[in-house]
C-alpha cells in the first residue's frame, strides 16, 4: 500500500510541476539573459530559455513538491503511547 502512495505522490508532483516549471522558467528569462552575458553559458536561445534550464527547474520543483506532499500526507505512527506504569509519578498529591 505504501508503494502505491509513493507512486501516486510522484505522479501528482510530476503533473503539477510541469506548468510551475514552465512559468518559472519563462519568468526567469531576464535573469538568464544577464547570466548568459556575464558567464558566456548558453542559457537562453532565440525562442526562450534552453531546454536544460527548463529540465533543471522541473526537477527541482518536482522533488521539492514530492517531499512536501510526502510530509503533508504522512500517517501518524501506529505505536501506542507508553502506558503509565507503577513507577511513574502520580499527578495526585
Burial of 31 (0-12, 13-18, 19+ CB in 10 A): exposed
Burial of 61 (0-12, 13-18, 19+ CB in 10 A): buried
Checking if the pLDDT of 79 tops 90, the result is no
33 vs 65, which has greater pLDDT?
A: 65
User: pLDDT per residue over 3-59, tens digit each?
Assistant: 899 999 999 999 999 999 999 999 999 999 899 889 988 888 777 888 899 999 999
Which grid cell is 27? 519568468
What pLDDT is recorded for position 43? 86
| Contact (Cβ atoms closer than 8 angstroms) between residue 10 and residue 66 | yes
Instruction: Determine the structural domain holding residue 60 and report its residue range.
Output: 9-72
pTM attached to this predicted model:
0.74
- Residue 78 inside a domain? The answer is no
- Residue 4 inside a domain? The answer is no
Checking if the pLDDT of 89 tops 70, the result is no
What pLDDT is recorded for position 90? 60
The Cα 93–Cα 91 span in angstroms is 6
- Residue 79 inside a domain? The answer is no
What pLDDT is recorded for position 86? 58
Which grid cell is 79? 505505536
Domain count of the fold of the chain: 1
Amino acid at each position: 500500500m505504501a508503494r502505491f502512495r509513493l507512486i501516486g505522490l510522484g505522479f501528482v508532483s510530476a503533473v503539477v510541476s510541469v506548468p510551475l516549471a514552465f512559468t518559472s522558467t519563462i519568468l526567469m528569462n531576464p535573469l538568464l539573459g544577464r547570466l548568459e552575458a556575464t558567464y558566456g553559458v548558453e542559457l537562453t536561445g532565440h525562442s526562450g530559455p534552453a531546454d536544460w534550464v527548463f529540465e533543471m527547474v522541473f526537477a527541482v520543483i518536482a522533488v521539492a513538491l514530492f517531499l512536501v506532499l510526502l510530509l503533508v500526507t504522512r500517517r501518524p505512527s501506529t505505536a501506542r503511547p507508553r502506558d503509565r506504569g507503577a513507577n511513574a509519578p502520580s499527578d495526585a498529591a
